[in-house]
Homo-oligomer: A and B are copies of this chain.
Amino acid sequence: MDVTAYQRAFILHFGEMGNRWGINRTVGQIYALLYVNEEALNAEQITQALAVSRSNVSMGLKELQAWRLVRLHHRPGDRRDYFSTPEDVWEILQTLVVERRRREIDPTLTMLRGALLEEVSDESDRYAKQRMQEMHDLIESLTQWLDEVQTLDRQTVLQLMKLGGGVKRLLMLGRSVRRADPDIDNELEGL
């Protein structure tokens, strides 16, 4: 596995950004290496390409698997594990969203739910509880919306994204059409 200068720049960038993304340098570099390589690579090739220890690669791959960001392959007559990233960048994004949410948001949502079940009498606690309620409601709205968007087909999501701020006009249109013909949704079922 030789890495060209062109690829190296990308790999090093991911290594540096890793800190900010909550992964370590090696994990970032392994991911970047796999991302720009058409063929799946085995641990030995990764070790050699990145010039880090074999054990470090092993741990890095384990973490990437925990993130569900890499796929495992096997070749006939070769018992080594080969790793690759999904080809579809949208699929990668979806995984990233799901996993980051699981690690960075869900625990807080759980904590907030618990806190909101408690009764408080103290005046300052009453304010604190109200603030937690606001935070909880905001996070819940966002995650519910994310859940629903995730069930949509890619075509629809792309359309929505392309629409951008124009969604406002569409929402107005929806209201006015519904006012004129309350049965519009049934009529559209067949589309």
Report chain B residues within 8 Å CB of A120: 6
User: Nearest CB to that of A187 among chain B residues?
Assistant: B176
Contact A20 B22 (CB under 8 A): yes
User: Within residues 135 to 154 of chain A, which ones have a CB less than 8 A from any CB in chain B?
Assistant: 135, 138, 141-142, 144-145, 148-149, 151-153
For A161, the chain B residues whose CB sits under 8 A away are: 141-142, 144-145
Contact B164 A38 (CB under 8 A): no
Residue contact A131 to B13, C-beta cutoff 8 Å: no
Contact: B168 with A4, CB < 8 Å?
no
Partner of A4, one of B35, B122, B185: B122
Q: How far is the CB of A168 from chain B (nearest CB, A)?
A: 5
Is the C-beta of A72 less than 8 angstroms from some C-beta in chain B?
Answer: no
> At the interface, is chain A mostly helix, strand, loop or mixed?
helix
Whole-angstrom distance between the alpha carbons of A153 and B127 in the complex? 27
- B145 pairs with A164, CB closer than 8 A: yes
**Is A169 on the interface with B (CB-CB < 8 A)?**
yes
Contact B173 A171 (CB under 8 A): no
Query: Given known contacts A35-B131, A125-B6, is B152 in contact with A168 (CB within 8 Å)?
Result: yes
Does A184 sit at the interface, judged by CB under 8 A?
yes
Taking A9-B111, A156-B168 as known contacts, 12 extra A-B pairs with beta carbons closer than 8 A to each other, sorted by chain A number, are: A4-B124, A36-B127, A37-B124, A141-B161, A144-B161, A145-B161, A149-B167, A156-B171, A167-B167, A170-B171, A170-B174, A173-B173
Q: Which 3 A-B pairs have the closest CB atoms?
A: A148-B164, A148-B165, A36-B128
Residues of A within 8 A of B (CB): 4, 6-7, 9-10, 13, 17, 20-22, 35-38, 89-90, 93, 103-104, 107-108, 111, 115, 118, 120, 122, 124-125, 127-129, 131-132, 134-135, 138, 141-142, 144-145, 148-149, 151-153, 156, 159-161, 163-174, 176-177, 184-185, 188, 191
